[in-house]
Structure 1
Amino acid sequence: MKLVLASNNAKKLLELQALFSPLGIELVTQGSLGIPEAEEPFLTFAENALAKARHAAAHSGLPALADDSGLSVEALGGAPGVRSARYALDAGGEKSDAANNDRLLRELSGVEDRRARFVCALVAVRSADDPEPLVAMGRWAGEILTAPAGEGGFGYDPLMHVPALGQTVASLPADVKNRHSHRALAAAQLIAQFREVWHLG
């Protein structure tokens, strides 16, 4: 089954394709179909993911899958939250992983409570007006380091230390990350829904 992924992030495509391959799902990016990115005006990951999925389905005529994910830091009241990818941009900086990480470190300078979690909302729709979207949420807890560590991953991975695994997300092999991540947790829920509701696999 072919689904449009409402993202142009190549690393996210690889991660999600690996997670959903057991169901025989083929993901194609919306960019490869000439679909522009959707607006993300909402305050929650689930609402933004649903908006992106409906947008991709409307433009492609195909079922669509959307991911909206980011970092939620306890001491910052849940920020950067849905603004995770644009965290530095919102403060007058550039839109890049490095700039976002720099801003986060500045915001947490001198802060003792460094608890945080990665959050992922995955939403799938059969069509743009699907009245029964599949919605899954995954959360992966950790703590923010005072300096980056690790060469892998993307986004805030170099700053997110997972005590249960003893290292940062950026230091984890891809297969380990794909078993434990917020995206993996959400994907496991969505896979169960794909099987039960869409009768896949």
Structure 2
Amino acid sequence: MSGEGEVPQAIRKLAPGKLVIASHNEGKVREIRALLAPFGVEPVSAASLDLPEPDETGTTFVANAELKALQAADLSGLPALADDSGLCVEALGGEPGIFSARWAGPSKDFGLAMALVEKNIAEKGPDVPRDAHFVCALALAWPDGHVEWFEGRVDGTLVWPPRGGNGFGYDAMFLPNGHEQTFGEMAPEAKHAMSHRADAFGQLVAAVF
């Protein structure tokens, strides 16, 4: 298992074959498929297997990724990879954090979620810093209960109004440090090269392939 800044030391390698992507978020599934494409695995989504979405009862990104991966591996009999990720806003004490998806409501309306983030920042005053970071925790689980996990991060600031129609979630309001385009304005390959998910995947690839 590995965390940010550590050299990944996987106990178990991932063999070629089917791998369940334990997510019902098509944006995440699409990004994960692209990142896995070079490694000889055959991604299948949890939705395509009619696997249920578990209640995310963990108190950290890693805990939620682990419970999703373990359930998918147990129900499918295949290795499963789960992602739990979110936006952490410094001025909001790290919120929405692990509740990032829930801020979008039952309809998964991230326009609403971004507006809620902006409203909460504005209530702090006009000069409040707009620093934020994305976190991505990946958990890779096998049917026997073994889990490897990896955590990535990317830092930036928040812009308003949102910019760009690419990506998903909060991408259109997140401007990564050192860049002039939001994740919503970047081409997918540019985001994949430096995102929180790419950071976690780099660790996973080094460890398990």
Q: Given the two structures, how large is their TM-score scaled by the length of structure 1?
A: 0.90
Mapped to 2, the partners of 1:128 and 1:158 lie a distance apart of 39
Query: 2:111 maps to what in 1?
Result: 98
- Tell me whether 1:120 sits opposite 2:141 in the alignment: no
Gaps of 5+ in 1: 196-201
Mapped to 2, the partners of 1:150 and 1:15 lie a distance apart of 17
Alignment of 1:70-109 (within 5 A): 70-89=86-105, 95-109=108-122
Mapped to 2, the partners of 1:88 and 1:75 lie a distance apart of 19
Corresponding residue to 2:186 among 172, 184, 187: 172
Alignment of 1:19-168 (within 5 A): 19-89=35-105, 95-109=108-122, 110-111=125-126, 112-130=128-146, 133-168=147-182
Runs of 4+ in 1 over 6 A off after TM superposition: none
Counting aligned pairs with the same residue, the percent is 43
Paired AA for residue 206 in structure 2: A
Mapped to 2, the partners of 1:54 and 1:163 lie a distance apart of 34
Instruction: Answer yes or no: is the 8 Å Cα contact 2:70–2:142 preserved in 1.
Output: no
Gaps of 5+ in 2: 1-16
Instruction: Answer yes or no: is the 8 Å Cα contact 2:171–2:182 preserved in 1.
Output: yes
State the 1:88 CA deviation: 4.5
Q: Quick check: which one's helix share is greater? A: 1
Measured at CA, do residues 63 and 46 of structure 1 come closer, stay the same or move farther in structure 2, by a change above 3 Å? Answer: same
Instruction: Answer yes or no: is the 8 Å Cα contact 2:131–2:157 preserved in 1.
Output: yes
Residues 57-114 of structure 1, C-alpha deviations (whole Å, 9 max, x = no match): 111011100000000111111100010011153xxx8541111011001001135211
Instruction: Answer yes or no: is the 8 Å Cα contact 1:85–1:96 preserved in 2.
Output: no
Corresponding residue to 2:207 among 185, 189, 193: 193
Residues 27-60 of structure 1, C-alpha deviations (whole Å, 9 max, x = no match): 1111111110111011100000000000001110
Mapped to 1, the partners of 2:90 and 2:189 lie a distance apart of 28
Mapped to 2, the partners of 1:159 and 1:17 lie a distance apart of 24
Mapped to 2, the partners of 1:25 and 1:188 lie a distance apart of 16
Residues 102-128 of structure 1, C-alpha deviations (whole Å, 9 max, x = no match): 100100113521100010000101225
RMSD across aligned C-alpha pairs, in angstroms? 1.4
Residues 127-168 of structure 1, C-alpha deviations (whole Å, 9 max, x = no match): 2522xx111111010001121111111110111012312111
Instruction: Answer yes or no: is the 8 Å Cα contact 1:53–1:128 preserved in 2.
Output: no
Mapped to 2, the partners of 1:84 and 1:48 lie a distance apart of 12
Query: 1:199 maps to what in 2?
Result: none
Measured at CA, do residues 29 and 75 of structure 1 come closer, stay the same or move farther in structure 2, by a change above 3 Å? Answer: same
Give the paired residue count: 190
Instruction: Answer yes or no: is the 8 Å Cα contact 1:134–1:193 preserved in 2.
Output: no
Paired AA for residue 77 in structure 1: G
